């Protein structure tokens, strides 16, 4: 097992996949060739059976790290008893001469580059490279290509490594020892696939420097297009860069997190695979991108849906793999799990659940995107919009009276979920806004718009009546339920409830009292059929800050927001949850849902300080008179 805290990990990537690197320089997680592909390094989940690429320095006394400004290039400084070395880690992602209207916006070369330079004194140590293919289920064959080049094969896959120092094979691993004086280098490049590297190992330092410069240029140019200039710019930009790493350039998809199997409860069995495209998470990420001026990323997600759901919204799913259906959930019983907490699961059974809020989530994202591009999207996005809008609203009409599994994917009976009902209203409300704002008046005719408005009014009246529990003095998780649910905060953020309504104020107070743990919030406190007590859900705490801002309590909202930001790791990265007692991060990492909350609430607080009242979409304003409250 590994005892490294989850917060010890940094992430690098190339918009095809990501790698997680610990504070001591150990690369402990990498799936190739894409986010949801089989892991070839997974010491994160089992350091005995799962492979890694370790940097071992003699007499190490201290480390510090940062991202190069405006990039996803990680720089770690190591201090030893005899000198100082800097490790620069990145995945090669070079600018394109011309960015196409659709598709990848950079040249991802399938390489992890580890540039190790002695900057003062002398340092010694070694690289230890041991891949384990197919989640450590396949045997590994290692062969030397030359003194400083090795090839590993297993499970029908292959990786190659080239180093600036000789590599010696030790069974299924390679070791490269070095002793460097100031100015010396011991670079290591790991590449995916069987194709030969361009150039010999002796030309490695020059090739590494060129790739570093190109990759830095890509990220700096991407960051320069961020339109947010508020007081939290560096924090917002780091979250945006993290979300960009969770995109998949080839398909346009956006995965929920980089990892699988990290526990939400210690002890417990809440260990799931988040390397898939959740409609909810991806749509919310689109909103975050649009809030920062990144319309192309939003359009790319629409491309992903167009190609994954050729029915143009008729068969929209809760969850997609990056190519095809989400695989069945299975347990990797040979892995012990992070800190010995299993089971390690891949695939995700929640793909078969019914969660009807996704229609509202997607319509919110579509509305925000169309507003941002002034209803003049690229031709391929523009095609079939009326048809897709019709299918999505038809889903809402079919689902409006049906129970579902709800936002939190509990594996229990379906309920008449309050959050779902509220998001169905949100979906129809945004459909009406889009149709009325469309300058070409083609998205829907007058009779259809009026039908949507009538249904929206009926849904809103219903959930206000049946979602309110007078005995609890709060809106509860589901109709007739006594249980509180932090998801009501999201419904407030999307205008489904008036934050100044006394019943809403009471609900927020009850949620804070019963689900709160200081600044943090649990999603709920009920028996959900799983083992262990899960940690607090980090995004919920940010939602509470947003609700305070909408209620005009800006000073409280800002103070809470800033305290929550301090809960991230030293690089500003967040996992899904935080243990209320220890403060440790829990769950898969980096978690897109948390980082999009950071972005959207920074934007909200900036607007609130300027006298605005934004929701979780750009340039939206509540329209309380549109339907009865």
pLDDT per residue as tens digits for the range 243-261: 999 999 999 999 999 999 9
Looking at the domain assignment, is residue 152 inside a domain?
Answer: yes
Same structural domain for residues 442 and 503?
Answer: yes
What would the pLDDT profile of 488-529 be if each residue is shown by its tens digit? 999 999 999 999 999 999 999 999 999 999 999 999 999 888
CA 131, CA 25: separation in Å to the nearest integer?
16
Instruction: Identify the CATH number of the domain in which residue 245 sits.
Output: 1.50.10.10
pLDDT category of residue 173 using cuts at 50, 70 and 90: very high
Looking at the domain assignment, is residue 351 inside a domain?
Answer: yes
Q: What is the pLDDT of residue 629?
A: 33
pLDDT category of residue 196 using cuts at 50, 70 and 90: low
Same structural domain for residues 129 and 278?
Answer: no
Looking at the domain assignment, is residue 220 inside a domain?
Answer: no
Q: What is the pLDDT of residue 628?
A: 32
Closest CA to 55 of 26, 81, 78: 26
Confidence check: pLDDT of 277 > 80: yes
Q: What is the pLDDT of residue 253?
A: 94
pLDDT category of residue 302 using cuts at 50, 70 and 90: confident
Same structural domain for residues 403 and 315?
Answer: yes
Same structural domain for residues 167 and 244?
Answer: no
Same structural domain for residues 13 and 117?
Answer: yes
Strand 10-13 versus strand 18-21 pairing type: antiparallel
| Arithmetic mean of pLDDT, 546-561 | 95
pLDDT category of residue 625 using cuts at 50, 70 and 90: very low
Closest CA to 538 of 589, 504, 499: 589
Same structural domain for residues 276 and 374?
Answer: yes
Average of per-residue pLDDT values in the chain: 92
Instruction: Identify the CATH number of the domain in which residue 131 sits.
Output: 2.70.98.40
Q: What is the pLDDT of residue 627?
A: 32
Same structural domain for residues 62 and 131?
Answer: yes
pLDDT category of residue 618 using cuts at 50, 70 and 90: very low
Same structural domain for residues 170 and 70?
Answer: yes
Looking at the domain assignment, is residue 628 inside a domain?
Answer: no
Confidence check: pLDDT of 138 > 90: yes
Same structural domain for residues 192 and 297?
Answer: no
Q: What is the pLDDT of residue 621?
A: 32
- Which residues form the domain of 294? 232-609
Looking at the domain assignment, is residue 221 inside a domain?
Answer: no
| Arithmetic mean of pLDDT, 265-288 | 91
Looking at the domain assignment, is residue 214 inside a domain?
Answer: no
Q: How many helices (H) and strands (E) does the chain have?
A: 15, 28
pTM: predicted TM-score of the whole model, two decimal places: 0.94
Domain boundary among 172, 196, 220: 196
pLDDT category of residue 93 using cuts at 50, 70 and 90: very high
Looking at the domain assignment, is residue 291 inside a domain?
Answer: yes
CA angle 510, 516, 520 (to 5 degrees): 140
| Arithmetic mean of pLDDT, 109-134 | 98
Same structural domain for residues 40 and 188?
Answer: yes
Helix, strand and coil in the chain, % to nearest 5: 35, 25, 40
| Arithmetic mean of pLDDT, 119-139 | 98
Give backbone dihedrals phi and psi of 112, rounded to 5 degrees, phi first: -100, 125
CA 317, CA 328: separation in Å to the nearest integer?
15
Task: Give the residue, 416 or 315, on which the prediction is more confident.
Answer: 416
Same structural domain for residues 545 and 600?
Answer: yes
Looking at the domain assignment, is residue 621 inside a domain?
Answer: no
Number of domains in the chain: 2
Give backbone dihedrals phi and psi of 147, rounded to 5 degrees, phi first: -60, -35
Same structural domain for residues 64 and 150?
Answer: yes
pLDDT category of residue 79 using cuts at 50, 70 and 90: very high
Taking a C-beta distance cutoff of 8 angstroms, is the pair 87, 25 a contact? yes
Domain boundary among 196, 216, 242: 196
């Amino acid at each position: 097992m590994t005892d490294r805290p989850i917060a010890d990990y940094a992430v690098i990537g190339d918009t095809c996949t990501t790698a997680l690197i610990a504070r001591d320089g150990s690369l402990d997680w990498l799936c190739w060739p894409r986010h949801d592909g089989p892991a070839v390094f997974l010491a994160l989940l089992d350091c005995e059976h799962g492979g890694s690429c370790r940097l071992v320095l003699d007499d190490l006394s201290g480390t510090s790290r940062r991202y190069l400004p405006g990039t996803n290039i990680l720089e770690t400084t190591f201090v030893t008893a005899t000198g100082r070395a800097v490790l620069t880690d990145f995945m090669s992602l070079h600018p394109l001469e011309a960015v196409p209207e659709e598709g990848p916006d950079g040249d991802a070369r399938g390489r992890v580059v580890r540039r190790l330079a002695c900057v003062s004194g002398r340092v010694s140590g070694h690289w230890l490279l041991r891949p384990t293919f197919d989640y450590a289920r396949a045997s590994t064959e290692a062969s030397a290509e030359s003194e400083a080049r090795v090839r590993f094969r297993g499970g029908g896959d292959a990786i190659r490594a080239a180093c600036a120092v000789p590599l010696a094979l030790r069974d299924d691993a390679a070791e490269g020892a070095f002793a460097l004086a100031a100015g010396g280098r011991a670079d290591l490049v790991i590449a995916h696939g069987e194709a030969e590297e361009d150039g010999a190992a002796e030309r490695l330092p020059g090739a590494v420097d060129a790739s570093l410069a190109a990759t830095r240029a890509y990220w700096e140019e991407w960051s320069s297009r961020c339109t947010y200039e508020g007081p939290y710019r560096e924090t917002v930009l780091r979250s945006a860069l993290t979300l960009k790493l969770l995109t998949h350039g080839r398909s346009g998809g956006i995965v929920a997190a980089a990892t699988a199997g990290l526990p939400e409860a210690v002890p417990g069995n809440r260990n799931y695979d988040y390397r898939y495209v959740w409609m909810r998470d991806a749509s919310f990420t689109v909103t975050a991108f649009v809030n920062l001026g990144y319309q192309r990323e939003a359009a790319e997600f629409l491309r992903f849906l167009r190609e994954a759901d050729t029915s143009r919204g008729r068969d929209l799913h809760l969850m997609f793999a990056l190519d095809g259906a989400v695989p069945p959930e299975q347990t990797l019983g040979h892995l012990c799990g992070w800190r010995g907490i299993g089971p390690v699961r891949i695939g995700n059974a929640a793909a078969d659940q019914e969660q009807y809020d996704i229609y509202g989530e997607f319509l919110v994202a579509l509305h925000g995107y169309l507003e941002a591009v002034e209803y003049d999207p690229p031709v391929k996005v523009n095609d079939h919009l009326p048809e897709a809008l019709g299918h999505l609203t038809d889903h809402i009409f079919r689902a409006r009276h049906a129970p579902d599994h709800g936002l939190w994917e509990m594996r229990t009976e379906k309920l008449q979920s309050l959050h779902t009902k509220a998001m169905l209203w949100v979906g129809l409300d945004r459909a009406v806004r889009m149709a009325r704002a469309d300058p070409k008046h083609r998205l829907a005719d007058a009779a259809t718009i009026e039908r949507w408005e009538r249904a929206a009014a009926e849904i809103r009246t219903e959930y206000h009546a049946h979602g309110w529990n007078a005995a609890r003095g709060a809106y509860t998780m589901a109709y007739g339920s006594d249980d509180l649910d932090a998801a009501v905060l999201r419904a407030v953020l999307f205008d489904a409830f008036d934050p100044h309504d006394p019943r809403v104020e009471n609900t927020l107070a009850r949620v804070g009292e019963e689900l709160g743990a200081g600044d943090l919030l649990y999603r709920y406190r009920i028996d959900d059929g799983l083992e262990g007590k899960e940690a607090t859900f980090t995004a919920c705490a940010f939602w509470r800050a947003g609700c305070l801002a909408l209620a005009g309590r800006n000073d409280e909202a800002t103070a809470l927001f800033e305290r929550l930001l301090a809960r991230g790791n030293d690089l500003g990265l967040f996992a899904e949850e935080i243990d209320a007692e220890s403060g440790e991060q829990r769950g898969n990492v980096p978690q897109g849902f948390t980082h999009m909350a950071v972005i959207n609430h920074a934007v909200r607080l900036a607007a609130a300080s300027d006298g605005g009242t934004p929701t979780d979409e750009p340039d939206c304003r509540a329209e309380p008179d549109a339907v009865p409250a």
